[in-house]
Amino acid sequence: MRALSDIDVVGVVGAGTMGNGIAQVAAAAGYDVVMRDIEEEYVEKGLDAVEESLDRLAAADRLGEDPAAIRDRIAGTTDLDDLAAADLVIEAAVEDLDVKRDIFADLDAVTDGDVILATNTSTLSITSIASATGRASDVIGLHFMNPVPVMDGVEVVVGERTDDAVVDFAHAFAADLGKETWESDDKPGFVTNRILMPWINEGVRAYDEGVADREDIDRGMKLGTNVPMGPLELADHIGLDVVVDASETLHAELGDRYKPAYLLTRKVEAGDLGKKTGRGFYEYGGEEE
């Protein structure tokens, strides 16, 4: 296993919402980053999102460095073999167990044998993902929160076979990115999504059943319970497809109380995925925030 001091290059798999955020915070912490997606178009979109985010942080005087210097530490690629340079890989591709297991089998083949492989999965079993590799003891969950550059927390998820030293490494690496951590066993939804997903789904059901209009559901939960976003805005922010995928995994593992709300699945079928498509429970004009 490589020590924190041995890490120069961080590989990131997936250039979407989470992947580009992870690439950005790793680059901002001084690491070189190789960010891989399957299509050039997705890589470019991810790099554009990093540039926009860095520019916003620079305008708010929240970067200790020229944004261009941070951006230049991130190399985008569609070539899996480019991840061979990585000293640590963090996977943030789609929330699909088969896809993630394929990715981890590939990562096991292309990276050096002592490279830790982390997944940003929200709900899937770390143990199952790890078993697609020949190094289950070096596989761990590093569950970043959205938006990655803004949120202070990272959930460290410990698989059945994860080595204690890898757990210590994960906490130390997250701290090096300026994040605080907590630890969860590899149980469905971990701490955060096990509790968050039913909360969001209940908000959607309350809206669908006419308890209140969308604004009042969100205002009620914000003013009434002191959370920064209500369930409908938060669902739009996360991506309704991501919420449905996470809810379906929890439903399969934990039973009926985790069934995704009807209106949520209907909106996903319609292609209204939240902020990222410009429409979810609310409408979003112009640039994504």
Residues of the binding site:
14-19, 37, 95, 100, 122, 146, 276
In DSSP terms, 9 is beta-bridged to: 32
Known catalytic residue at 122: yes
- The least distance separating ligand NAD from the CB of residue 66, rounded to whole angstroms, comes to 26
Nearest Cα to 258, choosing from 270, 245, 271? 245
Choose the catalytic residue: 53, 120, 155, 251.
155
DSSP structural state of residue 145:
-
Catalytic residue among 20, 91, 120, 143: 143
Site for ligand NAD in 66-125 (CB under 6 A): 92-95, 99, 103, 120-122
Residue 22 touching ligand NAD (CB under 6 A): no
Instruction: For residue 12, state whether it binds ligand NAD (rule: CB under 6 A).
Output: no
Contact by Cβ (8 Å): 205, 261: yes
Site residues (CB under 6 A) for ligand NAD, limited to 27-66: 36-38, 42
Give the Cα-Cα-Cα angle 52, 31, 173 (nearest 5 degrees). Answer: 105
* Window 165-204: contact mask with ligand NAD (x via CB under 6 A): ----------------------------------------
Q: Which of 9, 11, 12, 19 is in the footprint of ligand NAD by CB under 6 A?
A: 19
* Main-chain phi, psi angles of 108, to 5 degrees: -60, -35
How would DSSP label each residue in 234-276? Answer: HHHHH-HHHHHHHHHHHHHHH-GGGPPPHHHHHHHHHT--BGG
- Cβ burial, residue 254 (10 Å; 0-12/13-18/19+): middle
Stretch that binds ligand NAD, among 11-19, 57-65, 131-139, 175-183 (CB under 6 A): 11-19
Query: Annotated catalytic sites, by residue?
Result: 122, 143, 155, 193
